[in-house]
Amino acid sequence: MLQTLRKGASGLVAKILMGLLILSFGIWGIADVFRNFGSHTLASIGSSEVTVPEFRQLYQQRLQQISQQIKRGLTPDQARAIGIPDQVLNERLAEAALDDRVGHLGLALSNDEMVKRISENPAFRGPSGSFDPNYFNQVLRSNGFTEARFVEAERRLALRQQFLDSLAGGIEVPQVLRDAFKRYETEERSVSYVLIEPPALDTIAAPSDEVLKAFFEARKAAFRAPEYRNVAVLALTPAALAATVQVSDEDLKAAYEANIARFGTPETRVVQQIVFPNAEEAKAAADKIAAGTPFADIVTERKLTPGDVNLGNVPRSAIFDKAVADAAFGLPQGGTSGVVNGRFGPVIIHVEAITPGVTKPLAEVATELRADLQAQRAQRAVGDRRDQIEDELASGAKLTEVATKLGLALQQINTDISGKTPDGASIGDVPGRTEVLRGAFAADVGAATDPVTLPQNAGYVWYEVESVTPGRDRSFEEARAQALDRWRQDEAAKTLDAEVEALKKKVVDGTPFDKAAAEAGLAVKTAAGIRRGRAAEGIPQGAINALFATQQGQVGSAPVDLGDGRLVFVVTGVGVPASMGEDKQVLATTSQRMQEDLMTEYLVRLQADLGVKVNRAALDAIVGGDTRTN
């Protein structure tokens, strides 16, 4: 919770600090376990202590944060299993170690600096965008802080940052490393290459039964039938409930009338207006129009162009000024208004043409509107149905019984963990498919499972394993077709490997690459300006690393990204363009990593110098178990 309040007030060092603290203490661990603590002392490092109430509060806050993220509570056993107790303790001890060293060095921050630091924190800005004292106090109270306690916590954080900035701030990447990075990022290569494809499988003759059987027996596990599970799946989604939602004719009519603009096109008008600098000129022009002068003549008289007066063919909603809109849509076609007091001055409006609006009748849109209303009501009903399903399951009912009782569709699937049925077909569209399969193959038959929450409030999915068909070894006859296909794949790969190695050997033995490729019936292509991490026309992305691992004049090979082909190449050129600059992002990242390494080593040494002791009995009492087993 405190870290939320700190947001916006920390720099680079503060952002990476906690990760380093966890790393240093996680690797080297916490030292002695000792007794004879004070009743409120949980751990100590140097002259600093972590109290039992302090740790209990930090630990509960961390559990609440994690529970909110994963949308479910954590049991004490689960928290210990993933190391939360020691993680929280390590963080607090690391902070205490830095506080101890800061105090030893006599570092301090003035009250004026703390006021500035807090007032610049975006977390405390009110609606005006500036620091709001009332909002500041409200945020502190809602998070269980007094002003004094928060200011002290912020002061300690700022001093730790100041200290670590002095330790690792301003690290420069050495020139030799900068040069290495520049060369790595900008080096270019030119190659001549060919693409060798494996033979088509249907061109490879089938082996004898004896050979195929021997091949099958040597790889029997690869042809094993997987475990299948019969799973009942109940998906509660707005779409599943929509068909059961009743919409009366009265509701349909009311929704139609409330949204009538949706079912047609509004009336539009070609509107022109003249804006006058004052009321006197506007009245004079209106008088002329009333006496018979056409609106167009007034436009010409005032030396205005069509672009100066035309608002276009617009609906009422497109006219920003309400007074102008009311006047324009109150005139007949060809009509001209008197003086209208518009938002930007007196105006005269003229309507050149009118296109009547068209509204579809209810009968024409009833099906679409009814479906929309059903979907809206179904969305609202999902929560209630979810509670009903959970109540039924909690009472001991099976998923099939719940579906029948509540009139919901139940999907029965027989699948392996990849979502394939015993005949090799896909199980099809199952909401939350990945999570359902993962959970079903981790659950026991008939065991209760937590529902899968679909993203974007799309509903929930319950599943229950009804039976399991264990995996088994297939007989040779069952697996004959698969074994033959696998054998042919292996033979094709062997043939491809032989062709690749034969071509490479010719080149190594002195045959020019172009000649060796021509003798093999392969077309040679070339590519230049290839750089690491960038696409190159004709060169598969997966082969680029192999190009840069091969010296100029040498031959190499690499698999292609798609298919089973192989690229064979000779590096014909290596160079670094003189005009290429340094990658600033790479240098910034490298500098940050160097800072992290230095701070990690310092924190490890600081721990060793100060000494860490923990009252494990008190720790176990708070977290509900023996933390030494983690």
In a domain, 553, yes or no: yes
Q: What is the pTM of this model?
A: 0.48
On the question of pLDDT at 11 being above 60, the answer is no
CA dihedral in degrees (578, 580, 585, 589; nearest 10)?
-20
Helical H segments across 131-273, by residue range: 133-142, 147-168, 175-186, 209-218, 238-242, 249-258
In a domain, 286, yes or no: yes
| Residue that is last in its domain, among 469, 497, 530 | 469
Does one domain contain both 552 and 571?
Answer: yes
In a domain, 222, yes or no: no
In a domain, 463, yes or no: yes
Does one domain contain both 317 and 434?
Answer: no
Degrees to nearest 5, angle at CA 555 with 553 and 558: 135
Least reliable range by pLDDT among 214-223, 399-408, 561-570: 561-570
Question: According to the model, what pLDDT value does residue 598 have?
Answer: 83
In a domain, 199, yes or no: yes
* Short-list 98, 120, 111, 99, CA closest to 148: 111
- CATH at 6: 1.10.4030
Does one domain contain both 403 and 533?
Answer: no
* Short-list 31, 172, 136, CA closest to 90: 31
Does one domain contain both 127 and 52?
Answer: yes
In a domain, 485, yes or no: yes
Does one domain contain both 346 and 434?
Answer: no
Does one domain contain both 48 and 144?
Answer: yes
| Residue that is last in its domain, among 306, 324, 356 | 356
In a domain, 411, yes or no: yes
The continuous run of DSSP H or E covering 284 comes out as: helix 279-290
On the question of pLDDT at 573 being above 80, the answer is yes
The tokens for 614 are 């923990």
Split into its structural domains, the chain has a count of 4
Does one domain contain both 398 and 333?
Answer: no
What DSSP string runs through 593-605?
A: HHHHHHHHHHHHH
Question: According to the model, what pLDDT value does residue 126 have?
Answer: 67
281-300 pLDDT, tens digit each: 999 999 999 999 999 999 99
- CATH at 465: 3.10.50
82-126 pLDDT, tens digit each: 888 888 888 888 888 888 888 888 888 888 888 888 888 887 876
Does one domain contain both 22 and 119?
Answer: yes
Question: According to the model, what pLDDT value does residue 520 have?
Answer: 93
Does one domain contain both 86 and 21?
Answer: yes
Helical H segments across 432-583, by residue range: 433-440, 480-508, 513-519, 544-548
- CATH at 336: 3.10.50.40
Does one domain contain both 494 and 346?
Answer: no
* Short-list 353, 328, 357, CA closest to 342: 328
On the question of pLDDT at 7 being above 60, the answer is no
In a domain, 474, yes or no: no
Q: Measured in whole angstroms, how far is the alpha carbon of residue 105 from the centre of its chain?
A: 43
The tokens for 50 are 């972590």
Contacts of 449 (CB under 8 A, 6+ apart): 439, 440, 443, 462, 463, 464
CB 546 within 8 A of CB 533: no
Does residue 191 or residue 64 have the better pLDDT? 191
39: confidence class by pLDDT, cuts 50, 70, 90: low
476-497 b/e (C-beta count within 10 Å ≥ 16 → b): eeebbeebbebbbeebbeeebe
137-194 pLDDT, tens digit each: 777 776 667 788 888 888 888 888 888 878 776 777 888 887 777 788 788 899 999 9
The tokens for 382 are 């999902």
Domain containing 334: what range?
267-356
| Residue that is last in its domain, among 422, 443, 469 | 469
What DSSP string runs through 327-369?
A: HHTTSPTT-EEEEEEETTEEEEEEEEEEE--EE--HHHHHHHH
* Short-list 125, 161, 115, 150, CA closest to 11: 161
The tokens for 545 are 């690393």
The tokens for 313 are 């063919």
Spatial distance between the Cα atoms of 533 and 548, rounded to a whole number of angstroms: 11
Instruction: Kindly state the average pLDDT of the residues 256-278.
Output: 86
Does one domain contain both 146 and 194?
Answer: no
Does one domain contain both 464 and 491?
Answer: no
